[in-house]
Amino acid sequence: MSGVEVAGIILAAFPLTISALEHYRDTAETLGIFWKIRREYKTWTHGLNIGKLAFERNLEELLLPLIADEDELQQLIAEPDGQAWKNPELEKRLRQRLPKSYELYLESIDRIQDVMADLKHELGMDKTGFQSKVAEEDQISVPHRSNKTMIDAIVGKANLEFQTQRIKMSFNQSKRDKLFEDLTDYNNELRTLLDTSDRIAALRRSRDVGKKSAVSKGLWQFWRHADRLYNLLTKSWACDCKFLHQANLLLQHRTTSNADFRVLFVYAQQNLKPKPWSWTCQETNIKLLEDELVPKRSTVSFTAGTSSDDHESRPSKTPPPASKFPLPKKSSFRKSIMGKFKKEKTGPSSDLSKPLPPQLKSIPPISPVPNIIMTPASFEDSKRSSLSVGIDMIEINNLCDTIATYRTDSKQCCRLKGEGGSFALQPLGETDIGDTISLEEILRKESKISLIRRQRYNIALTLASSHLQLSSTSWISSQWRKSDILFIRRSSNPDEIYIDKPYVTRSFMPTPLDTDNPQDHSLSNLGIMLLELCFGTALEDHQLRKKYPSSSTPNPFSDKAAALEWSHRAVEEAGPEFADAILWCLHNMPGSGESDTKLEKRREELFVKVVEPLKYCCDQFITTRR
């Protein structure tokens, strides 16, 4: 019999033993002698429940790396006598999980099985007479019968003295205490065995990561490219409608320092009349140019073939004043107006050539609008994502105009040039408008979208890797939260999302400094997001968070206190690698004015302590699928 099968048999024995104990209690209460065995009964019940809980936790820790699907794992535990425990593939994975300690595992599991057999013997569960009595008592113990009827039935079927003697002999204190002591010892032995194996595996991975980190040091400097790109994009909006634009950066787990980006530019749609914009969104590949190319300057527009009256709808001209400028609702866009706009012009050119109205000059800064636009086709179109820098390059002077005049059949690329380097931009064609949903909305209890364990782990890895790449840049704020992480809904089914395409959204208006909370909480907020993804539940919906003060605005200190208390359960849910990654983020807070050397050291630690352990957790799903 395999080690997995034995574990299933033991798991099934606990509820049977507890059920037998409850039958003793029912019989004793019926005979009026329960008061004599009340203390013994409580001791037995407590010992069995403690042993059952300890064994179940050991079993989950044992099986968690072996089974990728959470539903499959829970079904296996719920059916300890099912056929799934006899799966030879599961036994093969167990041997791989414990390469040098499998025999010790078998010894520990066999000892626990022997203890359970002795406990069943002490309760008389191995006696044929007892089983028949229990069956008879089950048939007569219906709720509608009175105690007197039950007593008469039992006394008529068995001698009262026999019943009393059976109960007294079953609660042999010395034997019972020894068996429960053995059960505790063997469970602890099994737990130590699993912990030791996991610890050795973690140390081996840390050694491998140490070797790998020497190769991956380019990642520590990746943030400089990301920050330079953001600054160049900010300067490239030489238009009056700059405050209406956002850039949506695709978050990726990177293994190299290649500075290539996927950005979705959005013209934030407001209820403005007339509608002045000639574009709504543009998906773009952006790549750092290592070899400086001399761009070809042209006296014509970015794309040939544009109609002569296109200048009437240039988005760089700010629209006439409106009574209100309401922000679009989060995660909601109207249908694309690209086609309609080409047919209906916004009005005479004189309306758009007027000086900027004073109302717009004094408009307050707009907070980042968390909206992304993308068509499903753009996700699958991998052929268009390759960027060639050996073609004609045009210097970008106004990114808004460049996007507005771009044509999908153009063979030209654009260049953003600045101090320290240049970036080539290759638009990927028109995209239509789709709705978005934030990670915060997905994790809340009222969400209709459910993420399986593998999906949650992959998102966690992407967020941790993105923090490594983007911390200290304007892409990630000091208060980075799950509300900043957005996903695209599928147009065919709004309850499904492109789960492997998370974005972070930023606008190009300066945001006021947070003088009330100047500390950088992005790393601890990352730890909270990892914790929430570990369990698939938002912190706000957890009972532990309700113990701490709450307010209408986020409280990073209360959130962190609740997360630290919750994090102690992560090791049982996801294993030591995931749990340690969470704790490292929660216990580390960047200081203000840290030197570049210290920041680089922190990034290296983040890679070793968080990114690589999460990568290991994700790789387990690949292994179990084979």
- DSSP structure string for 207-227: HHHHHHHHH-GGGGGHHHHHH
Strands of the 413-418 sheet, one edge to the other: 393-395, 413-418, 421-427, 281-289, 260-267, 245-250, 503-507, 485-488, 436-438
625 vs 449, residue with greater confidence: 449
Q: Which of 534, 613, 553 is nearest to 70 (CA)?
A: 534
What is the reported pLDDT for 92?
84
Average pLDDT over residues 542-569: 83
Whether the per-residue pLDDT at 384 is higher than 70: the answer is no
Whether the per-residue pLDDT at 417 is higher than 50: the answer is yes
pLDDT in tens, 590-623: 765 567 778 888 888 899 899 999 998 998 877 5
Question: Lowest-pLDDT range, 186-200, 249-263, 375-389, 394-408?
Answer: 375-389
Question: Lowest-pLDDT range, 129-138, 190-199, 300-309, 468-477?
Answer: 300-309
285 vs 28, residue with greater confidence: 285
Distances (CA, A) of 470 to 279, 304, 406, 467, 526: 28, 37, 29, 5, 12
Q: Which of 54, 74, 40, 92 is nearest to 626 (CA)?
A: 92
pLDDT band at 438 (very low <50, low <70, confident <90, very high): very high
What is the reported pLDDT for 345?
39
Q: What are the beta bridge partners of residue 485?
A: 504
pLDDT in tens, 78-90: 888 788 888 888 8
**Whole-number Å distance between alpha carbons of 539 and 570:** 13
pTM above 0.85, yes or no: no
Q: Using an 8 Å Cβ cutoff, are 525 and 440 in contact? A: no
162 vs 276, residue with greater confidence: 276
Produce one character per residue of 445-481: b if its CB has 16 or more CB atoms within 10 Å, e if not.
Answer: eeeebebebbbbbbbbbbbbbbbbbbbbbbbbbbbbb
pLDDT band at 27 (very low <50, low <70, confident <90, very high): low
With 0-12 CB in 10 A as exposed, 13-18 as middle and 19+ as buried, what is 81? Answer: exposed
Q: Using an 8 Å Cβ cutoff, are 316 and 398 in contact? A: yes
Region class of 319: left (phi > 0), else alpha (psi between -120 and 50), else beta: beta
Alpha helices in 448-492 (DSSP H): 453-470
**Whole-number Å distance between alpha carbons of 477 and 474:** 6
Region class of 575: left (phi > 0), else alpha (psi between -120 and 50), else beta: left
Query: Three-class SS of residue 421?
Result: strand
Whether the per-residue pLDDT at 134 is higher than 60: the answer is no
Q: Using an 8 Å Cβ cutoff, are 575 and 65 in contact? A: yes
What is the reported pLDDT for 201?
66
Whether the per-residue pLDDT at 276 is higher than 80: the answer is no
Whether the per-residue pLDDT at 565 is higher than 70: the answer is yes
Average pLDDT, the chain: 71
Q: Using an 8 Å Cβ cutoff, are 287 and 260 in contact? A: yes
Whether the per-residue pLDDT at 457 is higher than 90: the answer is yes
Average pLDDT over residues 210-227: 70
**Whole-number Å distance between alpha carbons of 239 and 317:** 7
**Whole-number Å distance between alpha carbons of 475 and 459:** 18
pLDDT band at 302 (very low <50, low <70, confident <90, very high): very low
Average pLDDT over residues 270-295: 65
Question: Lowest-pLDDT range, 156-170, 210-224, 454-468, 540-554?
Answer: 156-170
Domain boundaries, the chain: 3-208, 224-427, 514-626
Q: Using an 8 Å Cβ cutoff, are 252 and 360 in contact? A: no
**Whole-number Å distance between alpha carbons of 197 and 206:** 14
Of the spans 359-368, 385-394, 569-578, which averages the highest pLDDT?
A: 569-578
Residue 287 in tokens = 């790549």
What is the reported pLDDT for 361?
35
Average pLDDT over residues 218-226: 81
DSSP code per residue over 486-502: EEEBPSS-TT-B-TT--
pLDDT band at 564 (very low <50, low <70, confident <90, very high): very high
Average pLDDT over residues 318-347: 36
% of the chain residues with pLDDT over 90: 12
Distance of CA 518 to the CA centre of its chain: 27
Average pLDDT over residues 172-198: 81
Question: Lowest-pLDDT range, 360-369, 386-395, 605-614?
Answer: 360-369
162 vs 136, residue with greater confidence: 136
**Whole-number Å distance between alpha carbons of 365 and 512:** 8
Termini Cα distance of the chain: 24
Cα dihedral 555, 560, 565, 569 sign: positive
